[in-house]
Structure 1
Amino acid sequence: MSTTDSTAFPGTIGTTYQDSTPSWSMPRGPRPGSPNVVLVLLDDVGFASLGCYGSEISTPTMDALASRGLRYRNFHTTALCSPTRASLLTGRNHHSVGMSIIANADSGYPSKRGAVSDEAGTVAEILRHEGYNTLAVGKWHLAPADQTSMAGPFDQWPLGRGFERFYGFLDAATDQFHPELTSDNHRVDPPRGRKEGYHLTEDLIDHAISFVDDQTSCAPDRPFLLYLAPGATHSPHQAPDEYLLRQRGRYDVGWDVIRERRLARQKELRIVPADTELPPLNPGVVPWQELSTQERRLHARFQEAYAAFLEHTDHELGRLIEHLEHLGELDNTLFMLLSDNGASQEGQVNGSVNMAFYENKEEDPLELNLRHLEDIGTWRVQNNYPLGWASAANTPLKRYKQNTHAGGVRDPLIISWPDGISDRGNVRDQFHHVTDILPTILEILDVDPPEQIRGVPQMPIHGTSMAYSFAADGRSRKQSQYFEMFGHRALWADGWKAVAYHEPGTDYEDDRWELYHLDQDFSECHDMSAEHPETLHEMIQHWWTEAETYDVLPLDDRGFAARRAESIARSDAPRLRDHFVYRAGTSHVPSGATPFLHDRSYEITARVTCTPGDEGVLAACGGVGGGYSLYVKDGLLHHDYNFYGGIFRVSAAIPAGPPDRQLGYAFTRTGPYAGIGRLLVDGEPVGSVEIPRTSRYFMSWAGLDIGRDALSPVSDAYDGEFPFSGTLDAVEFSLAELNGGPGDHEPAD
């Protein structure tokens, strides 16, 4: 008879069961009564956007959460989406875990890899080990973009980082009517395709409810973690028509009036101190009355779409909460609702009907926006509001998302837990940061951070638990917190804040540091650097110490484009290849893994078997705002190049021939971002078009489909997916050498 190691198996194992002793010892589970945890992470929602934070936008669901819990007015994030998500889920500073900016870029330094280090376990990895079911719904944006195809690797997808179920999208943004969707570890189409009535937020809430039903039905004694991250309110601001129509005329008064009204309401709600001042409009924002009549009409429509999107999201969140109440789970559910950063500046001065303009460092022409006035908020454009409304969304704070002034990093936080918070409906003033969410959850659940996860030693938790603040207001237990984003820097310590706005491409030594005493100056209106030079000097030195401690360096003020291009040039990057073959039936390929066609010559060849009556899409990449489609229709071969919604089309008859054909398109670069497109049949040119402008390096967040146009339509020449009715063997891409390499493709500022 043998005895096993008692740490592995407490029973004994003999030759047969008669001389063996069984044991049913169970792994540690959550303590009885442990609450469910629901993390709701909104996107680009500024400090003043929710009703309970002073807005006129109707958010009764979120307001009700606040009335059953607490609102925090001194809560901070990292100023950008992927970094905040990394800090939220790990409790560590974002540079330390490898996420300095978005997950679409890998700069080759430890703090800038675009993926969360395995040394920083997520809340899902920790709680799953403790017996929680772990569910994720919505936006992920923590996997390297070139690792999001169905070839993987999958270790940085939600199921690779501790979540047992996932339904949502992996990239930074997606169309709300035609989203790129992933279920667990595989791509799926929107369940109702392009039929009227579909909206992503509704779909996400349906899946959140379904996940919870599965868990509470099959394992009712196990609590769950639900991470719900809708696309709202990241651009595109798209909402059902009924929500858009409700907003008509609501914002004709303009952003100056809305800022004043919101500040007054914030004072009534005690969201800001009674003596809070409204700072001047941010640089570049024109007073409303100085705009033309056409501009005011256009800009009001942009804000109507944003408000509609947020109100629709609030309604859908209400369905989940009502369902939890129906299940009897609501009172013992810890809700934490926050935004990932402040309101977005990416709509620029004129607002935007196409997100690609910002990504290409260009501005939407006002004339283009005016032509699409009636399309704003619908599937036909992918819109974002102008800087003036972003300023209003952040009332009474300066600057925006990406900046380390308060408009980028001070965000709403609502914590609701009826069984655990008795001081309901009140406001808390303690300074806290997104790194503090995970340690708060662990303290409430009486869980110690693990020393190892899957054999990987874990770095210390950087955050400070907020659980003490549930009982009463008072002095913050947080000592200090650094900030850095694109070279903008800041440090908070003991009620003071030092902050520097950095102009890209300039010497960091030339940055002017400002100093604010936030305990007396909520909105950062009074720079005290001249009055307290010693304090400012100490805080700047403290920032450099924190930068060394948390792997912030090297500083990098390059934008998304340059760092994305650098990622493409990695020796192991899939997009560095110059030859791709996609077989028929290939799953949707996300944009970060598609062939990099920008500013270079290339050829696309589809190998088909077809008869004269066959038609449909052979390959389509992008969406309504930009991309390309190679297709057969009405007996002709067509290629549409969608440049900011305008179509460069070339069409030609397909000469008679055998059923096995090669149908293609070749682009010959003739100058920077320009060239000639030629249709090819069996290698012979049959038609051409001059294309004077092509996208610099970004067309769309949407990716590539083979044999159909699966999501947002690239071309207006066909309806629906328009699948190819013949037999498609494969589509081949052959790319010429890059003109100077992808790292040279960022345009001048």
Structure 2
Amino acid sequence: MSENTDHLQRSSLPIPDLAYTGTVTYDATSPDTHYPPISPVKPPADAPNVLVILIDDCGFGATSAFGGPVHTPNFERVAAQGIKYSRFHTTALCSPTRAALLSGRNHHTVGMGGITEIATSAPGYNSLRPNNCAPLAETLKLNGYNTAQFGKCHEVPVWESSAVGPFGHWPTPGNGFEYFYGFIGGETNQWYPAIYENTSPIEPWGTPEQGYHFMADMTEKAVNWTKQQKSLAPDTPFFTYFAPGATHAPHHVPAEWADKYAGKFDQGWDTIRNETFARQLDLGVVPKDAVLTERNEGIPSWDEMDDAIKPTLARQMEVYAGYLEYADHHVGLLLDALEELGELDDTLIYLIIGDNGASAEGTMTGTTNEGFTINHMEDIETDEYKIAHKDDLGTPRSYNHYAIGWAHAMDTPYQWTKQVASHWGGTRNGTIVSWPNGIAARGEVRDQFAHVIDVAPTVLQAAGIPEPHTVNGVTQRPYEGIPMNYSFDDAEAPEQHTTQYFEMLGNRAIFHLGWTAVAKHKDPWLASSHGLDEDVWELYNVEEDWTQSNDLAAQHPEKLAELQRLFLIQAARFNVLPMDTRSAERFNGELVGRPALVKGTSQTFYPGMKRMSENSVVNIKNKSFTVTAQVTLPEGGGNGVLIAQGGAYGGWSFYLNSGAPAFAYNLGGVAIEYTRAGAALAAGEHELRAHFAYDGGGLGKGGTITLFDGDAKLAEGRITRTLPFFFSMDETVDIGSDLASPVSDDYEATGNEFTGNLTWLRLDAGDDDHTHLADPNHLMQIAMTRQ
């Protein structure tokens, strides 16, 4: 451990500048002129570099490091230099785990009781980290560390997630990172990502055909940043937060990586669970007397699946496995760079393999495109459709997610999956800690209980930096995590994190002194159907029952009552109350007190505006709408996109093709319907309009599209069916071009910029809105699928 021997006052940040109190002379050449040299703020001597790697949506039983079927040699490489933690826990969901990790406080303490899209005004659920909970990166930066974040950020409140901010909850400047390269939100297309550099949207350097993939891109950025940092400031340690989109859906990976696993999953998820459990016993990441839990009610066995779809189901897992190994490979490239720089031994590495359990958000038979599930298009994505598009999985032609049975297998040996905070399958993630210069142990396993809130205090203790009392003038709430340093070199040290609550969407639990009391409120794929008081509590002695396989509630009612009472005490203490299992109400921002970025039914855009998410623009689904563009066309005719929303997996575009106006509606990538004018327009000023008259009568209905030049009608066409809930999980509204994957086949992914002059463009939504007919339970499913 580093020690603070420089006598700097580090408890109040920023470290105050001390005024010179010596003699001031008249002449700088006087022999009595003495000023101390400038001493930049540096961390304590011997403070290590810190690298936190957070893999997304990866269960305890996925990687070979913890007995899983996916080959992860670089994760094992980190473990060989350090120690595995077999009882490390997350919150069961994305945004909450990340907020807790970066703050050292419980997720409700920092306002992240759920994902940002369902925030309310309640303190535990508003998605706003209070300023009395300064993030770890800010503390390290103010103590002289260089800080950078790469990859996913899903902690920005939805009303602050546009290119105009405010940026107080973005990685930079609000969360203490000096540099950010990644995406904002729950997921992004790995072939066509929506990237920000700091706070500016930028485009990938190439297309999939040119070899682009975001995992490789963000790794290269991280390597280059690290090399530059060590070149220019070799004595300054860094804090790097490396959070890839892998292995969250979409499971996008170059085909050769998925093909490495051809035939490896034909035996199905039940056999894979048994094989994984045997390896886990051999590795010692579960004890010899551990019991493999039973498959949960509602999850089908492999034998129950139709033989015709089994090859497609197996391919889903091959693609996922390739994606995970691909992520492991790029983590290895980052490790190689540290080794090349001579920094690997002096870097404290936290490799947290999953921000929650494996995701059960992919339906019972998986999906080729999450948009089908979101938009209730099950009639299109039949089993026959999935079978026919098996070879699209993982490629730019898909937006895929594996079946629920695979998620359960990837959480071996535990019950349940992501979202289920009541059971270890949702919250227990394999974690590896390495620091060769600071930890003597090599290749060992630690069984002490730990939680993601323990990371921040562990890092500060390793660096010799005190937990700050005040930051930027605000008195700080103490860290709620427990430093894990005590266990680094002592496998037998009594565990110090002895009490921890869990809660997510009503699924809740309490761990205390070797016991857990748990109550599962809902399955990940179902909505809340009953009151919290109707939940059935279970009780487990986790010292004797590692996997929560033997419910003792009936045998020990007094212990269960004791723990239920303790849960309520902790819930009151950490802003968990009132627990919120509502569906429809949480999507009405006015009702729950959540600000809206865009209000009204009309919005005007200007050239250069791009990468606007769906919550940043007027909603035109399930209603009529009009697009009006004031343009000047050059001699020879104009071409290119005026406005596009979404991409190749769903969306619409208004553009000029060979000088003639055209409108394309993309129905989830299944079909594209075009309305095209018959002739090119003359040079000069034009007011172009596309008016969609919605048929009405429910959600996702069709309508008539009419194109105008001023008052002159140019063309009319039909849109048979529309997307009722979402155009795209991550693709955006772009003015003057169609970024990322193209909505229309009339133009390519690049080179589709409008060649004329666009003065302004206005989007007007009609007053015939049918969205009130939406099923509130399905709206909640949409939000949870996005995270």
TM-score strictly above 0.5: yes
Distance 2:772 2:120 in 1: 13
Q: Alpha-carbon deviations, 1:656-696, whole Å to 9, x = none?
A: 56632222322333132224142321255531314444222
Aligned to 2:439: 421
Shift of 1:303: 0.5
Alpha carbons 2:611, 2:731 under 8 Å: kept: no
The question of 1:202 aligning with 2:219 is answered: no
Aligned to 1:736: 766
Q: Alpha-carbon deviations, 1:345-381, whole Å to 9, x = none?
A: 1112110112234445775532332232110010111
**Matched length:** 744
Distance 1:400 1:16 in 2: 73
Alpha carbons 2:261, 2:321 under 8 Å: kept: yes
Q: Which amino acid aligns with 1:663?
A: L
Query: For the structure 1 residues 417 and 150, does the alpha-carbon distance in structure 2 shift closer, same or farther, using more than 3 Å as the test?
Result: same
Shift of 1:323: 1.1
Aligned to 2:705: 678
Q: Which amino acid aligns with 1:85?
A: R
Shift of 1:38: 0.1
Distance 1:524 1:677 in 2: 57
The question of 1:408 aligning with 2:421 is answered: no
Shift of 1:453: 1.6
- Alignment match of 1:668 (pick from 680, 685, 693): 693
Q: Secondary structure at the match of 2:235?
A: coil
Q: Which amino acid aligns with 2:123?
A: P
Distance 1:118 1:355 in 2: 36
Alpha carbons 1:105, 1:567 under 8 Å: kept: no
Alpha carbons 2:449, 2:498 under 8 Å: kept: no
Alignment root-mean-square deviation, CA: 2.3
Which structure 1 residue ranges, 5 or more long, are not aligned?
Answer: none
Q: Which amino acid aligns with 1:694?
A: L
State, as a whole percentage, how many aligned pairs show the same letter: 37
- Alignment match of 1:75 (pick from 70, 82, 88): 88
Q: Secondary structure at the match of 2:273?
A: helix
Aligned to 1:351: 366
Aligned to 1:237: 251
The question of 1:522 aligning with 2:549 is answered: no
Q: Which amino acid aligns with 1:459?
A: R
Shift of 1:245: 1.9
Query: For the structure 1 residues 677 and 427, does the alpha-carbon distance in structure 2 shift closer, same or farther, using more than 3 Å as the test?
Result: farther
- Alignment match of 1:606 (pick from 608, 629, 632): 629
Which structure 2 residue ranges, 5 or more long, are not aligned?
Answer: 1-15, 523-527, 782-787
Aligned to 1:720: 749
Distance 2:642 2:601 in 1: 20
Range 487-496 or range 625-634, more displaced: 625-634
Query: For the structure 1 residues 618 and 562, does the alpha-carbon distance in structure 2 shift closer, same or farther, using more than 3 Å as the test?
Result: farther
Alpha carbons 2:598, 2:618 under 8 Å: kept: yes
Q: Secondary structure at the match of 1:576?
A: coil
Shift of 1:548: 0.5
Query: For the structure 1 residues 639 and 10, does the alpha-carbon distance in structure 2 shift closer, same or farther, using more than 3 Å as the test?
Result: farther
- TM-score normalised per structure 1: 0.95
Query: For the structure 1 residues 322 and 716, does the alpha-carbon distance in structure 2 shift closer, same or farther, using more than 3 Å as the test?
Result: same
Q: Which amino acid aligns with 1:712?
A: S
Distance 1:209 1:10 in 2: 44
Q: Secondary structure at the match of 1:306?
A: helix
Q: Which amino acid aligns with 1:688?
A: G
Distance 1:400 1:140 in 2: 22
Distance 1:532 1:612 in 2: 84
Q: Which amino acid aligns with 1:481?
A: Q
Alpha carbons 1:353, 1:384 under 8 Å: kept: yes
- Alignment match of 1:134 (pick from 124, 142, 147): 147
Give the alignment of 1:430-579 within 5 angstroms. 430-474=448-492, 475-503=494-522, 504-558=528-582, 563-566=586-589, 572-579=595-602
Shift of 1:21: 5.6
Q: Secondary structure at the match of 2:308?
A: helix
Distance 1:65 1:107 in 2: 40
Distance 1:6 1:445 in 2: 22
Aligned to 2:126: 113
Distance 2:566 2:531 in 1: 20
Distance 2:655 2:592 in 1: 31
Aligned to 2:157: 144
Alpha carbons 2:110, 2:127 under 8 Å: kept: no
Shift of 1:726: 2.3
Aligned to 2:74: 61
Alpha carbons 1:650, 1:679 under 8 Å: kept: no
Aligned to 1:46: 59
Aligned to 1:386: 403
Range 706-715 or range 23-32, more displaced: 23-32
Distance 2:712 2:113 in 1: 48
Range 604-613 or range 440-449, more displaced: 604-613
Alpha carbons 1:570, 1:576 under 8 Å: kept: no
Alpha carbons 2:103, 2:453 under 8 Å: kept: yes
Distance 1:738 1:490 in 2: 45
TM superposition outliers: structure 1 runs of 4+ over 6 Å: 740-745
- TM-score normalised per structure 2: 0.90
Query: For the structure 1 residues 650 and 534, does the alpha-carbon distance in structure 2 shift closer, same or farther, using more than 3 Å as the test?
Result: same
Query: For the structure 1 residues 522 and 308, does the alpha-carbon distance in structure 2 shift closer, same or farther, using more than 3 Å as the test?
Result: same
Q: Which amino acid aligns with 1:380?
A: R
Range 476-485 or range 576-585, more displaced: 576-585
Alpha carbons 1:279, 1:396 under 8 Å: kept: yes
Shift of 1:482: 0.5
